[in-house]
Amino acid sequence: MCFGALKAGFRAGCRPIIGVDGCHLKGPHGGILLTAVGVDPNNNLFPIAYAVVSKECRETWEWFLILLKHDLDIVRQDEYTFMSDKQKGLIQAFEEVFPGCDHRFCVRHLHNNLKNAGYRGLAFKTALWNAARACTVGEWKMRMQEMKKISESAHDWFNDKPAVQWSRSHFSETSQCDMLLNNVCETFNSCIIDAREKPILTMLEWIREYIMRRMQENRDRSNTKWKEKLCPKIQQILQKHASKVADCMPIKADDLHYQVSCFDGSQHCVDLGAKVVVVGSGNCQGYHANMLAVQFIIKSKIL
């Protein structure tokens, strides 16, 4: 099921990131519900497509992803990012259908795997989340060294888990999203938990009506309550970071360029014309901006 309104809405306003997940059906016929959920401009979930299959395996995931690729008219795979929990057969299906896309893994799921490998306790959890939330490559390396001090074997456990799949410091900018959890799918699955106990056709009709009501409620809410140009959640994020702008000391280089010095001693170049921050530390690469430098752009009200 992939309705025209959902396809049009995703292409028109959602970020190029898609969460995929599967959940068990508890009705008389059993089966698995595969879902694809996007992120709307207010950072809320946006259902895209869902399908009922007999079991979760490479063949069913490959079938689902082929249909999703066709419905969304995905031509350039490198422009999309997918988020998952490493479901059974999903990795192989992605390699076949979307070989050029970015693929992230939910950090909560990664932490559960870390615990199953024997690395339990608050210290390991904190070290993992610090590394996942790191905004620059240099900070990520520092956090991984902290992990190594706790346990060298725990540090080595991440050798076959590329940071591009779970740390913000390595995420591609094309996704326009730094989320670390597959919450959009998990939230959608919890919203339809009552429907999952019904017969298949009844369940599909329940989900269709739920999505229809949800979309209309969002339209009404945006027309009556959203007075700002930015969506409410985005406005809150900007205000939160703008309040910390005192941590940055800008020095004007010309009308469009500033040097921003942060309290930790780092320096960054802010280009107001291009609306980017070039990380200045020698250990940092690319445009993964330190949030303290980004705050200066927010204060300048040019985002």
Q: Could you read off the pLDDT of 149-183 as tens digits, one per residue? A: 999 999 999 998 999 999 998 988 888 888 999 99
- Write down the pLDDT at residue 232: 85
- Res 190: pLDDT: 92
Three-state DSSP class for 80? Answer: coil
Q: Output 200 or 299, whichever has higher pLDDT.
A: 200
Q: Average per-residue pLDDT in the chain?
A: 85
CA-closest candidate to residue 14, choices 36, 37, 40: 40
Higher per-residue confidence, 186 vs 303 = 186
Angle at 40 between CA 39 and CA 45, to 5 degrees: 55
Q: Maximum Cα–Cα distance for the chain, whole Å? A: 69
pLDDT above 90 covers what percent of the chain? 52
pLDDT of residue 240: 78
Res 288: pLDDT:
40
| pLDDT score, position 300 | 54
Specify whether the CB–CB gap between 49 and 28 falls below 8 A: no
36 is written with which tokens?
A: 């694809």
Mean pLDDT of 207-235: 87
21 φ, ψ to 5°?
-160, 165
pLDDT at 115 (0 to 100): 93
Cβ–Cβ under 8 Å, residues 18 and 188? no
What 8-state DSSP symbol labels residue 161?
S
- Statement: residue 131 has pLDDT above 80: yes
pLDDT score of 75: 85
User: Which pLDDT band holds residue 295 (cuts at 50, 70, 90)?
Assistant: low
Q: Are 284 and 137 in contact (CB under 8 A)?
A: yes
Q: Residue 280's pLDDT is what?
A: 61
Please identify, in words, the CATH class of the domain defined by 4-106+181-219.
Answer: alpha beta
pLDDT at 87 over 80: no
Name the token pair of 230.
């930015």
Q: Per-residue pLDDT averaged across 258-263, rounded?
A: 79
**Segments making up each domain of the chain, as ranges:** 4-106+181-219, 119-171, 236-299
pLDDT > 80? residue 231: yes
pLDDT band at 289 (very low <50, low <70, confident <90, very high): very low
3-state secondary structure of 50: strand
Q: If pLDDT is split at 50, 70 and 90, which confidence band does 110 have? A: very high
By C-alpha distance, which of 85, 136, 82 is closest to 111? 85
Residue 101 has pLDDT above 90, yes or no: no
**pLDDT(194) > 50:** yes
Q: Does residue 29 surpass a pLDDT of 60?
A: yes
Residues 6+ apart with CB under 8 A from 292: 244, 247, 248, 260, 262, 263, 264, 266
* Category of 270 on φ-ψ map: left (φ > 0), alpha (ψ -120 to 50) or beta: beta
- Nearest alpha-carbon partner for 181 in 162, 168, 194, 163: 168
Residue 255: its pLDDT value, please?
Answer: 84
CB 245 within 8 A of CB 295: yes
Give SS3 for 157.
Answer: coil
Residue 174: the pLDDT is 81
Instruction: Give the pLDDT mean for 118-146.
Output: 92
pLDDT given for residue 299 in this prediction: 53
Residue type, 10: F
pLDDT the model gives residue 297: 55
Give pLDDT, residue 31: 92
**Lowest-pLDDT range, 29-43, 114-128, 241-255?**
241-255
CA 143, CA 134: separation in Å to the nearest integer?
A: 8
- Model pTM score: 0.81
